[in-house]
Amino acid sequence: MKTHWTPIKTALTLALCGASLAFAPAHGAGKDAAPAAKAVTATVLPGDDFFAYANGDWLARTEIPADRSSWGAFAAMAETSNARIVKLIEQVSADKTAKGDARKVADFYNAFMDEAAIEAKGTAPLKPLLAKIDAIKDKTQLTRALGQSLRADIDPLNATNFFTENLFGLWIAQGLNDPARNTPYLLQGGLGMPDRAYYLTDSPRMAELRTKYKQHIGAMLKLAGYPDADARAARVFDLEMKIARSHASREDSADVLKANNSWTQKDFAAKAPGMDWNAFFKSAGLSGARAFIVWHPSAVTGAAALVESTDIATWKDFLAFHQVNHFAPNLPKAFADQRFEFSGKAMSGTPQQSPRWKRALAATNDALDEPVGRLYVERHFPAENKARVQKMVGNIIAAFSKRIDQLDWMAPATRAQAQEKLKTMHVGVAYPDRWRSYAGLKVLPGDALGNAVRAEQFHYAQEIARLKQKVDRSAWAMPPQLVNAVNLPLQNAMNFPAAILQPPFFDPKASDAANYGAIGSIIGHEISHSFDDQGAQFDAQGRLRDWWTKEDMAHFKGAADKLVAQFNAYKPFPDLAVNGQLTLSENLADLAGVAAAYDAYKASLWPDAPADADKQFFLGYAQAWQTKVREAAARQRVLTDGHAPAEYRTAIVRNLEPWYKAFDVKPGQALYLAPAERVKVW
């Protein structure tokens, strides 16, 4: 399915820094989802632990729902939006005259919800998929199967996780060096666990997870009817261990300069021998692509060598397991339960599987993201709100522009390029200007697995078709119903979906103070991503180009290194520290984003702001990060997520002078930094 809407990524990819003045109760979340912004913990000094000071009362009385690995403001908003969408789908289902994309949404959702029909069919819908794998007789046929299994839409510049269960991941976007032309990017894949660290780290926790994963592989193969499932699982796991050894690290994956490897089709045979690349590209529909960006060359080379050296039987079991595991949500209950037993309980510590309607909605959002989004915005996002948010974006861009003009370390040439990025930035607010057609997607009532398979094929064809289309800077990377926001460096663009433009983050009835403190911080964060350690490498046209003077870049990197060191010092667990380099992009965006939102807020309200305006601004920011996470999930995030844990993102304010003044933070308090130690970039 489309990677940007998977339930895991929806929960974890909070690539933004919102602030809120109050959290409304969420559907099914209970009374503890609605704290007020002024409710602080008097027993903790803000200068010692600002996160606990702002959120202590909420943390004390809030329990994570049983079907969640974490809970917080964004999850509560998503829950509210999801409840609204389900009601809309139910209304379409009851309307016998409904047709087109709306009918497809209802039919897809209802087919997933029909557990009795799914149980009655058993594994029959799965058998044709596995029969194709069982029919593989030689390495050429294996290579074709690997090409046919390729899925698209894994954006390495925004992905929380770079992994994909297929041997490779594919992303179609404008070229790093040629922004006028769409290019295929090939990424590492082939792992059923989130990262190479889960395979290679020598620790009791990881060893236990590896054992459970091997058991999970065997259980899935057994459910699918394969004999000797445990022996097959051992061979599949061993293959994935070898794949993991060739994978790039998280830090290297986030380094776009290391990823900028241009290969022609002919280069693959020389640089990654072991596969019939012509057969692979033909079966993947990529024969017409002459040039690729190979994001992870070591992984591509390693995978090709393993295709040659590993026996066909093991590869067939690998393909079979991942096919079964991938489509488990659309299969009988035993499959879905087994998948949750590992991915939910073992990996994330989540004690209870989500109710069926939530899983059905997640699958429907995957398959028909824009049609679902269109239903949502037509009912829940008034058109007039779009203009107001666009105006706020303009004001915060202006504040950021003023900050650039005031930088005493930046040379005029660099400053001009930075200002050009701001002037040409494309901002998508609420929903796309043009909706994509889903006329070619066949959705049948009562065919849950078939609908899922056809949806993936449809989306893959959509992505491949972009190779022959002009680059569209206005194209959206997120559906309107997603509670998130994103910066798109190659497009020099941003998306702010409709679902995040609702109370408490944006309220058309609220004051400018409330909205600048809330959605303003989100907007500032996304603008700032254009100038973080990754975004700063792209020019106004989205081309990967060094537009900095040598001295300016040295200053920028020096400030960034200080922020890396600041976050490296945070240890959420005695045996696990935050990775300051992995989280640098988000930390830079938090720092500059809150500062720009603060400037725009002051320009909007000053001198009429109330006496405690600054306190409310910073409390709003901190309370936006109200989050509780189960330990297993928290550990996974520290290892794999480009975002630091919420308590440390909140602590970014220790670098901002107005925060010290607002809360009278003194030397000797834990978060206090001497003025010379405070990181300032933009």
Span 507-526, pLDDT tens digits = 888 777 767 877 888 899 99
Which residues have CB under 8 Å from 4's CB, separation 6+?
Answer: 13, 153, 155, 158, 477, 478, 479, 482
pLDDT at residue number 512: 74
pLDDT at residue number 254: 87
d(CA 567, CA 654): 12
pLDDT over 50 (residue 264): yes
Calculate mean pLDDT across residues 103-132. 98
Q: Are 645 and 16 in contact (CB under 8 A)?
A: no
Span 190-210, pLDDT tens digits = 999 999 999 999 999 999 999
Q: In what order do the strands lie in the sheet with 168-174?
A: 168-174, 182-188, 291-294, 262-264
Mark residue 11 as left, alpha or beta (left: phi above 0; alpha: psi -120 to 50; beta: remaining). Answer: alpha
Residue 398 — pLDDT band, cuts 50, 70, 90? very high
Span 69-79, pLDDT tens digits = 999 988 988 99
Residue 290 — pLDDT band, cuts 50, 70, 90? confident
Percentage of the chain modeled with pLDDT above 70 = 92
pLDDT over 60 (residue 9): no
pLDDT at residue number 488: 94
Q: What is the pTM of this model?
A: 0.86
Q: What domains can be seen in the chain, in order of their start residue? A: 3-16+37-83+367-430+456-677 (3.40.390.10), 150-313 (1.10.1380.10)
Location of structure tokens 């903790």: 44
Residue 633 — pLDDT band, cuts 50, 70, 90? very high
pLDDT at residue number 503: 80
Q: Are 101 and 374 in contact (CB under 8 A)?
A: yes
pLDDT at residue number 159: 60
pLDDT at residue number 403: 95
pLDDT over 50 (residue 24): no
Residue 562 — pLDDT band, cuts 50, 70, 90? very high
pLDDT over 60 (residue 25): no
pLDDT at residue number 162: 58
pLDDT over 60 (residue 640): yes
d(CA 76, CA 29): 7
pLDDT over 90 (residue 614): no
